[in-house]
Amino acid sequence: MNNISSAQNSQSGWLAELELDYAVRREKTCLVRKKQRGPLTLQRPFYPENDTCHSYLLHPPGGVVGGDTLDIKVRAETGSHCLITTPGATKFYRSKTDLVSTQSQKISVCEDAIVEWLPQQNIFFPEAQSNLSTQINIAPGGKFIGWEVHCFGRPANSEIFHSGNISSRTEINIDGQLRLVEQLCTEDSSLIHSPSGLRGMAMQGSLIAAPCNQQQRDQLERILHSHQYPDPIGLTLVDDILVVRVLGNQIEPILEIFTQLWTELRTEWLHKPACSPRIWAT
C-alpha cells in the first residue's frame, strides 16, 4: 500500500489527492492500494457485512476555500464491493473572486463490481467560488448507486446564497459510452430563484443508480407515492440510468427519502439487505 502524506499549502491553497483501489482478497473486498497527498485521507475500513468494505473519507481541515484542489479517484476491481461515505458535510467557504476551489471525483466500476457512493451534503457558503466534477465509469456487469446533495447557503440560519459562482457536472459512462450528463450552475442566486431551477429553495439532490431497468423504476415509484415527500421530486429512467431528483430546504427529509430508496435498491437490485454506515447514527 502506497501512502504519500506530503501537504502543499501555498497562496494557491491546498492540493489534496486520494487514490483508492479495492479488490477481492480471501472472499472479501479489501483496500489494496491507497495513494495520499495532502489533507485528504481515509479512516480504517469497516466490515459490518463481512465481505463488503465500508470506507469513510476524511478531510481534516473541515472545509474548502478558494484555491484548494481536491482530487479523488476510486477503482473497484472485478467482483469487489465497496461503500464510501463521509462523516459530515463538505463545506465550501467564501472565497476571493479570483480564487476558485476545485473538487474532482473519478469512480471506476470494473466488471461485476459494485460501488455505493453516499457522501453527506455539500454546503456552499455565500461568496463561494467552486467547480465540482464527477465522472463515473461502469464496465459490463458493474453496478453503481450514489447520491449528491447541494445546499446553497445555510437556510437554518436564514443565510441565503446571494453571491458566488458554483458549477457542478456529473458524467455517467456505461461500457465506454457517455450516457448521462448532469449539470448544475449558478451565478449568485440566479439558479435559486429560477422557476426552472431551485424554485426558491436552497437544496438540490440527485440519486443515481445504473444500470437499472423498468422493474427497479417501478419499485422506487411505489415508495415515492407512499412516502409523500413534501417538496418537488422526480423519477426518470433513461438509457438504463435511474435518477431521482429532489428539491428542499431541510437536509433531513432529503436524506430520509434517499435512504429509503437506497434500502429498496440494495435489497432488490444488489441482493443485499441495507446496512447503514454506523457514522450516520452519530
pLDDT in tens, 23-68: 999 999 999 999 999 989 999 899 999 999 999 999 867 789 999 9
Give the confidence band of 5 by pLDDT, cuts at 50, 70, 90. Answer: very low
pLDDT of residue 60: 67
Instruction: Report d(CA 53, CA 28) in Å as an integer.
Output: 8
Instruction: Report d(CA 63, CA 266) in Å as an integer.
Output: 31
**pLDDT per residue over 173-211, tens digit each?**
999 999 999 999 998 888 888 888 899 999 999 999 999
8 Å CB contact between 139 and 168? no
How many other CB atoms sit within 10 Å of the CB of residue 220? 24
The rounded mean pLDDT for the chain is: 91
Which whole number is the average pLDDT over 120-132? 95
Q: Which range among 17-21, 80-84, 192-196 shows the weakest confidence by mean pLDDT?
A: 192-196
What angle do helix axes 251-268 and 214-227 make, rounded to 10 degrees? 140
Which whole number is the average pLDDT over 117-135? 96
- The answer on pLDDT for 1 being more than 70 is no
φ/ψ (deg, to 5) at 263 = -60, -45
Which whole number is the average pLDDT over 263-277? 94
Nearest to 210 by CA among 260, 259, 143: 143
Beta bridge partners of 22: 31, 76
Q: Say whether the peptide bond before residue 60 is cis (omega within 30 degrees of 0).
A: no
Grid coordinates standing for 241? Answer: 440510468
Which whole number is the average pLDDT over 252-264? 96
Task: Reduce the DSSP state of residue 183 to 3 states and report it.
Answer: strand
Which whole number is the average pLDDT over 90-94? 93
pLDDT of residue 8: 42
Nearest to 246 by CA among 149, 133, 160, 154: 149
pLDDT of residue 252: 94
Which whole number is the average pLDDT over 130-142? 97
Instruction: Report d(CA 52, CA 80) in Å as an integer.
Output: 8
- Strands of the chain (E only): list them: 9-10, 13-25, 28-37, 41-42, 53-58, 69-76, 81-85, 90-92, 101-109, 114-118, 122-124, 129-138, 143-154, 159-160, 165-174, 177-187, 203-210, 233-238, 241-248
The CA angle 183-184-189, to the nearest 5 degrees, is 160
